[in-house]
Amino acid sequence: MSDEILFAEDNDEEIELQGKWKVLIVDDEPEVHAVTKLALGDFVFQEKDLEFLSAFDGEQAKQMFREHDDIAVVLLDVVMETDDAGLKVAEFIRNEMDNHFTRIILRTGQPGQAPERDVIINYDINDYKSKTELTAQKLFTVVIAALRSYRDIIVIEENRHGLEKIISASADLFSIHSLESFIEGIVQQLASLIGGTKDTAYLTSAVVGPKPIEQYNSSELYVFTGRGEYKNKAGNRLEEVISGRQLISCQQAYANKTMICEDEYLVVYCDSKTKKGSLLYMSGLPRKLTETDKRLVEIFSQNVQIAFDNVLLNKDIEDTQREIIERLADAIETSFGSKNHTQRMIKICDVLGRSSGLSEQDLKILSLAVPLHDIGKIRVSDNIMLKPGSLDAEETLAVRNHAEIGYNLLKDSSRPLIKTAALIARDHHEYWNGKGYPRGKSGEGIHIFCRITSIADAFDAMRSERSYKEAWPIEKVMKVIVAEKGQQFDPNMVEFLQENLGEIENIMLRFPS
């Protein structure tokens, strides 16, 4: 038809929507369905043709809208089983289905039954035509105008949803405080934006290998972490994991600080205000990305590096905090003739904590706080702490006072970590049966952190060489531990120690006294 030539030169921006344009014909006359399909049979708009749906009364039309949420245009007869059946369908679409996207074109053979002005105002109708005036060419004109309107509304709605996703994704990324969770957060949010990818790699010059931050090479890009094909490639140079056309695209995107999108892969430059930028590389895209997808990814990538810088800064602060605490604890222990006690305590408590079902956050706090469990010993005389023989009653009391001393040194802090360390310092010598010190707590009245620290400290003390004793053999140590089950130690902790004895012994070998 000549109309096809007329519309073939449509210059609208090409926006790819999947499938066909769905057009619902609602009329109680079968001939109207046949003529409409014939007139629009070779209709093409933006390289998509039409998919016709048919309904012959109001109830069938409503059911069609319940089954299809992507009807672009409905050609709706006003008078069918009742004089206002079509108007009731229009009201159903807008009010009950809350569908304000579908373009509604009323067609009537009896214009006087429903005045055009009143109908368009009261029923949110997009066009109103008499069947006698709808020639084939005019039908083309009406449908093309309706489809343009529908397309634009859908694009606006997609942009709105995309903006919501960007805000949500950015908020989630900025809330991530661990390097381990960072790439998972990126991948999850990108999956929401573009429907998922098979392989993803985050490449940056800010980190290398197993110890981020400590090493920095501004002239190279390395895989920080990834998924799919790049899951185990952390620390590898860009050129070692990506090759060919993809590698060239990565190098161009990094050099030009831009995004390059091909059918099978996408590489995005992530700008940084404090370091050289990074690259986000994705292959195995689920579909060809639309311009809307690209805009969303571009906006998202602008926030990725800021979030990553935030994660690095947070890790740097945590690592500095951890190192200060551990160095302080090591200094205390070294002065009393112990070596690597702090590292062994951290590792053993982590093993027992995991067996106890502690959360990752609790394990993190425990590992940071436990090095300070004996900080009160700095107020105990070296003559007592290093005495080679047994202690008298007065000296024993002086040593036991280190628990309250440590608590008093730390208790006034408002920081959760220091408050936890104060609790551990005070209560890690309490006994399950209530005969420990300094306050005679018992059972589950002793915080689980303290029960874990108690058995770990006792095990390490017996198993390690000190200035005043030799290391005990494992058989002798376990005999004492088992004998104190339900007495000095939490029965569950004794069982956890026995279950993980091999791993704990490996810790003792890795960090010898």
Q: What is the pLDDT of residues 260-271, one digit of tens each?
A: 988 888 888 887
pLDDT at 217 over 90: no
Mean pLDDT of 59-81: 93
User: 418 or 280: which carries more pLDDT confidence?
Assistant: 418
> What pLDDT, on a 0 to 100 scale, did the predictor assign at position 389?
74
Single-letter amino acid code for the residue at 126: N
Instruction: Give percent of the chain with pLDDT exceeding 90.
Output: 42
Tell me the per-residue pLDDT of 132-159, one tens digit each, with 9 for 90 and over: 777 888 899 999 999 999 988 887 776 6
Please, how many CA atoms are within 13 Å of residue 374, restricted to the half-sphere of its CB?
A: 24
Token pair belonging to 65: 């809208």
Token output for 401: 């006072």
Q: Higher pLDDT residue, 76 or 321?
A: 76
Going by C-beta distance under 8 Å and a sequence separation of 6 or more, which residues neighbour residue 508?
Answer: 344, 460, 463, 464
From CA 98, how far away is CA 105, in angstroms rounded? 17
pLDDT digits (tens, 9 = 90+) for 447-482: 999 999 999 999 999 999 876 678 999 999 999 999
Q: Which tokens belong to 346? A: 């951290």
pLDDT at position 7: 29
Per-residue pLDDT at 352:
98
Model pLDDT, residue 228: 78
Confidence of residue 31 (pLDDT cuts 50, 70, 90): very high
377 is catalytic: yes
Mean pLDDT of 231-239: 83
Contact 266, 242 (CB under 8 A): no
82 falls in which pLDDT band (50, 70, 90)? Answer: confident
In the chain, the percentage of residues whose pLDDT exceeds 70 is 80
What are the pLDDT digits (tens) for 388-409? 777 888 888 888 999 999 999 9
How much is the pLDDT for 455? 97
- State the SS3 of 317-362: HHHHHHHHHHHHHHHHHHHCCCCCHHHHHHHHHHHHHHHCCCCHHH
What's the distance, Cα to Cα, between the start and end of the chain in Å? 92
Taking the CA atoms of residue 280, residue 177, residue 168 and residue 276 in that order, the dihedral angle to the nearest 10 degrees is -30
Position 274 scores a pLDDT of 62
* Active-site entry in 315, 377, 441, 485: 377
pLDDT score for 462: 94
Q: Does residue 73 surpass a pLDDT of 90? A: yes
Q: Mind listing the pLDDT tens digit for each residue in 305-355?
A: 677 777 777 777 777 788 888 888 777 776 665 678 999 999 999 999 999
Secondary structure E strands in 335-408: none
CA atoms within 13 A on the CB side of 229: 12
Q: Looking at 124-128, 364-368, 486-490, which range is the least confident one?
A: 124-128
Strand, helix or coil for residue 285: coil
Q: What pLDDT, on the 0 to 100 scale, is given for residue 4?
A: 34
pLDDT at 369 over 90: yes
How open is the CA angle 273-276-278, to the nearest 5 degrees?
A: 100
Is residue 226 predicted with pLDDT exceeding 70?
yes
Largest pairwise CA distance in the chain: 114
What is the mean predicted confidence (pLDDT) over 58-78? 94
Encoding tokens for residue 366? 């425990």
Q: How confident is the model at residue 2 (pLDDT cuts 50, 70, 90)?
A: very low
Q: In this predicted model, which residue has the larger pLDDT, 16 or 73?
A: 73
Point out the least confidently predicted range of 182-196, 351-365, 453-467, 478-492. 182-196
pLDDT level of residue 499 (50, 70, 90 thresholds): very high
Please report the domains of the chain, with CATH numbers, ordered by start residue. 2-156 (3.40.50.2300), 176-311 (3.30.450.40), 336-510 (1.10.3210.10)
> What residues have CB less than 8 Å from 433, skipping those under 6 apart?
442, 486, 487, 488
Of the listed ranges 5-9, 35-39, 366-370, 418-422, the one predicted with least confidence: 5-9
Contact 79, 102 (CB under 8 A): no
| Least confident range of 65-79, 119-133, 177-191, 444-458 | 177-191
* Position with higher pLDDT, 331 vs 436: 436
